[in-house]
Every structure is written in structure tokens, then in C-alpha cells.
Amino acid sequence: MPPIEASGDAPDYVIVGAGSAGCALAYRLTEAGCRVTLIEFGGSDMGPFIQMPGALSYPMNMKRYDWGFSTMPEAHLGGRSLATPRGKVLGGSSSINGMVFVRGNRKDFDHWHEAGATGWSYADVLPYFRRMESWHGGTSPLRGSDGPLHITRGKRRNPLFNAFIEAGQQAGWPYTPDYNGARQEGFGPMEATIWKGRRWSAANAYLRPARKSGRLRVIRALARRVLFQGSRATGVEIDRGGRIETVAAGREVILSASSINTPKLLMLSGIGPAAHLREHGIAVRADRPGVGANLQDHLEIYMQYKALKPVSLYTYYNLLGKSRVGLEWLLQKTGLGASNQFESCGFVRSSDAVDYPDIQYHFLPLAVRYDGKVAAKGHGFQAHVGPMRSKSRGTVRLASADPATAPRIHFDYMSHPDDWAEFRACVRLTRRIFDQPAFAEYRGDEIQPGAAVQGDDEIDAFIREHAESAYHPCGTARIGQPGDPLAVVDPELRVIGVEGLRVADSSVFPRITNGNLNAPSIMTGEKAADHLLGRPMLSDPETAALAAGRD
């Protein structure tokens, strides 16, 4: 295997995966003067289907941009196999996602800290959230103003957006002006990684500036495994156009390949559950049973209604309408194409016994699925709703020792009884919201689940047939203390049992956060850079004190 770089000319760091965390990490390392090689299997992100926010349903359904993973049959969902899209493109999943920006709740990160991820409490991570963002929602000591990632809000010109926020208040919840700030619970405007009408992915925010430094090299190739000398990682074996090559690392290797591909790469490199590795003829380098375990996700259902007035996006859901929207965006980067159409939201608790929100709402002024198919002819609207902290846990396992083979993904969705109670609450609370006066002039018949679905058994049957992934997998290489047998990385993201190898992506989350995962994934890349550089962690006592009062 000929090396791409001679050992004396090796970059300081090799990163596998140009996704949310990998791009942020590459930017911060090159900014510090380090030389970085970034390995990404996917190609360019410059197509209009990616860059136009309103076209978000297309890239996650295109083989060109998506790895095309799906789960094993899920026993508690009627044996269905669910799609598990992951970005196979520069920017990773930040280039194919819904662009929704949610940091998570303070208590999510405090839980991480208490579970063994010391140094990852909310007070610890808040400075990195602030460093990474340019927030265009006003001025707040809890928000950043000069980071690479632009955070904006939609204009909410469609009356249904404000009706949803008003209905939430009428149903008894507060208005929250900034769910990423002082209080998450309530209803208010949704935030998005959109800037000047374009998807502001990790590639746009971080990767392009990093490439301008001259210290970043991007290689398009399939990472096959991490290479070692003794117990120390020294590089990555890649397949580039059918040729097996080696990328040497002067200092360290970092895996930022997603919560699906990162555990796969660890196992292919001999790090994982020993018995499972031996089944595939892989020599065990470090017996870490936590690799590929602890897999978590958010499930959601779409509560859909017919609209009594022609105010939904259905007006534009035809060839002529889509063409007009696309043309305006191409020429001016304005109009409906400049929004992801998730412009209002809510975070609520499933019961008074829950101490912080465990249900999330995305409101959409159209009755449609993620694959772009409308649920019914005519005007309608929907809320995406689902529990945030499922107790179900799954696994990522090797299907083969061949690096080109997709792994076996089994979330074991809905395997915990509490998940069913929380989902039933989602259905009933959503009906309560849409039954408020704010929707009286708009709300027609319930398309799904449908008015006949009322009892627990009927609701459960609907969930079993219709629940879909919100595409937030995480947790498969979690942070913990070195003595924890199920931890994979220590609090500085070093893989336990070897040297010179770290993980920086959503794999390291001990527990899933309250909301979409793009923001905490980018934060992980930001914080990982300071760990790699040996810098003191960012801290701000005044901001930390303010953070302590957040819900």
C-alpha cells in the first residue's frame, strides 16, 4: 500500500468524515496552524437540491448524497425496516438534513456530566455553542454573534405558523422567544442553519474557509480501517478508486464518520466487542463492548389535518408552482425556496411528573412526507411530534469484514414500555393544541391518525404502522470514564485502550439530546479541537451562571 504522504510529510491530523463535527474540527485545527487531511467518501455539495433550503426532501432521498442505510426489521414496529439516511457528501448530514438548529436542553448536558462525561455539562459546552454561531435573533449573553455558523429564523409569513404558536399558548404553554436561550419549554419561532437564502451547512460554514488556509487537504475515498504501530494509531487505510492506499498521521487520527460509520470503522480496526470481532475474523486490538451499543434515535409521527382555507403550501405543490419557486430562488435566493418551512415549533412535557420537556414539535404548513409525497389532495398542515428521550437502545454491528458492506443497524425501537405511554401523550396533546381557537378558521378533518383513532390500542396500532425516524442516530461510542466497561472514549474523546485515536461526532453522546442533533454534533467538533490542541477549555463564569437558570 503506497502512502499518499511520506512519513516526514504527513499531516498533523487525519480526520475521517467531512460531516458536522469533522468540518468544524478541520476548521479549528487549520486555524491553529495544523496541517489536516480530511477523508470523505462523498462528493461535492454544490448542487441546487442541497443548497436550496426548500428542496430539503430531495437530497436525503438521492443515492448520490445518502449512504442509503436502513434498519433491520424492527419487531415493535410491525417488522418494518426504516430508512436511516446519513450524508454521503461534503458537509455530511448537515448537507441533507432539515436545517433545524436546536442546541438541546441544559439538563441533557448536565446528565452527560453526571453519567461520566466530566467536562461536558451545560456550563462546559455553552462557550462552544456560543463560539460556533452567528445568531441573527437579537442580542443575548447566551448566544454567539461572530461564529462561522449563521443561525436565522423564517419570516413566518404564512398565517399557519403563528396560529401554531398561538394555539400552544391557548393550550396552556408559555411563549418562548428563544428555545436555545433561557427557556426551552413552550412555543415560538424555529431556528435554522440558513443564511442569505442558502443552506448554511458545515461545509459552507467551516470546510470552505478551512480549505482557503492552504493547510487542509480533502481526499475522496472510502476509509477501510485505522492503522496502528503497536497500540498507537498511525494512519488510515483507504480505497481510492479501487486502489488501496495509506494516509499517514503525524499526531492523531480522528473518526467523525457518523454514529453508524464510526463504530463500523472502530470494529473493522479491531476495537469493539471481542466475540463479535472474532466472528468476522478480525484481530482484537481493544475489547470495548460499548462500540456500536447504546444506539438511540428520535421517532416521530405526522399529525395531519385538512385546511379549510387555501393557505397551505399545496398551492405550490405542482410542476408550475415548484418551477416558479425554484426560479425565484435561483435568481434571487428569496421566496419559499429560501426557507425549510419549519418556522414555528414547540417543546412540552408529556406529564407534570417530567421535569423538563420530553416532546418536540416541528410545524409544517403542508401535509406531506419526508419523501415529498403529499398525504392528501388539497390544502393541509401537520405537526411532526415525538418523544425526545426514548429508553430503547439498539446496536450497530458488522455484517461483514468487508469495509464496503453496510453494517447491521437495529435500533430496537419502542422496546421499552415507557415509549408507548409517551407516544400516546404526543397524540393527545397534539389534538389539544389543534383544537384551540387559533386554528378554528383553518382546521378541517384530521387526516391522520384520524378521528376514529382514540383508545390506547388504536393509537398504538397507528404508531406501530406510521412512526418514522427523525434521523437523529447517536450514542454508539459514548463518552465515559476509562474504568467504565461500556465507555468507548474518555472525556477528552480519546478511544480507551489505544493511543493516538479519538472520536468526534454524535457517536460520543451518552444520551440523546432534546431536539435535532446537528447543533450538538458541531459543538462536539468545536470542543474536540481544543482537546486535541491541548488548550484550556473555554469558560465564562458570567455565562455559566446565566446557564444555571435555564429550564
The domain spanning residue 324 has which CATH number?
3.30.410.40
Q: What is the DSSP string of 187-247?
A: EEE-EESEETTEE--HIIIIIHHHHHTT-EEEEE-EEEEEEEETTEEEEEEEEETTEEEEE
Residue-level pLDDT at 550? 60
C-alpha grid cell for residue 187?
412555543
CA distances to 13, 193, 524, 526 from 128, rounded to whole Å, are 21, 16, 8, 6
Q: How far apart are CA 62 and CA 68, in angstroms?
A: 8
Looking at residue 85, what is its pLDDT? 96
Q: Which residue has the cell 448537507?
A: 95
Task: Judge whether 526 lies within some domain.
Answer: no
Question: For residues 467 and 448, is the Cβ–Cβ distance under 8 A?
Answer: no
- Count H helices, E strands: the chain? 14, 26
Q: Where are the alpha helices (DSSP H) in 380-491?
A: 417-434, 456-466
113 an active-site residue?
no
Residues 6 or more apart in contact with residue 186 via CB below 8 angstroms: 168, 169, 173, 174, 175, 176, 179, 346, 347, 348
**pLDDT tens string 188-236:** 999 999 999 999 999 999 999 999 999 999 999 999 999 999 999 999 9
Q: Which structural domain range is residue 345 located in?
A: 155-189+299-387+414-466
| pLDDT at residue number 206 | 98
Q: Is residue 432 part of a domain?
A: yes
Look at residue 102 and tell me if it is in a domain.
no
Residue 450 domain flag: yes
Residue 4, pLDDT score = 43
| Cα dihedral 231/257/284/403 (nearest 10) | -120
Single out the residue of 10, 524, 494, 8 nearest to residue 254, CA to CA: 494
Q: How many CB atoms lie within 10 A of CB 428?
A: 11
Domain count, the chain: 1
Three-state secondary-structure class, residue 133: strand
Q: Which amino acid is at 264?
A: K
Give the per-residue pLDDT at 376: 65
Burial class (CB in 10 A: 0-12, 13-18, 19+), 212: exposed
The burial of 367, by beta-carbon neighbours within 10 Å (0-12 exposed, 13-18 middle, 19 or more buried), is given as buried
Question: Does 3 fall in a domain?
Answer: no
- For the whole model, what pTM was predicted? 0.96
Contact 444, 475 (CB under 8 A): no
User: For the chain, which ranges sit under pLDDT 50?
Assistant: 1-7
Tell whether 307 is covered by a domain.
yes
138 is written with which cell numbers? 437579537
H helices of 32-143, in order, are 48-51, 106-114, 122-132
Which value, in Å, is the radius of gyration of the alpha carbons in the chain? 23
CA 318/CA 330 separation, integer angstroms = 18
In a domain, 304, yes or no: yes
- Say if 71 falls within a structural domain: no
Mean pLDDT of the chain: 95
* Residues β-bridged to residue 429: none
Identify the DSSP state of 57. Answer: T
Inter-CA distances, 346 with 429, 471, 504, Å: 12, 19, 29
Residue of 262, 296, 294, 297 whose CA lies nearest to 485: 294
Q: Which of 362, 466, 472, 531 is catalytic?
A: 472
Residue 305 has which C-alpha cell?
389535518
204: Cβ contacts below 8 Å, ≥ 6 apart: 91, 195, 198
SS3 state of residue 113: helix
Q: What is the pLDDT of residue 2?
A: 43
pLDDT of residue 482: 95
Q: Read off the amino acid at residue 406.
A: A
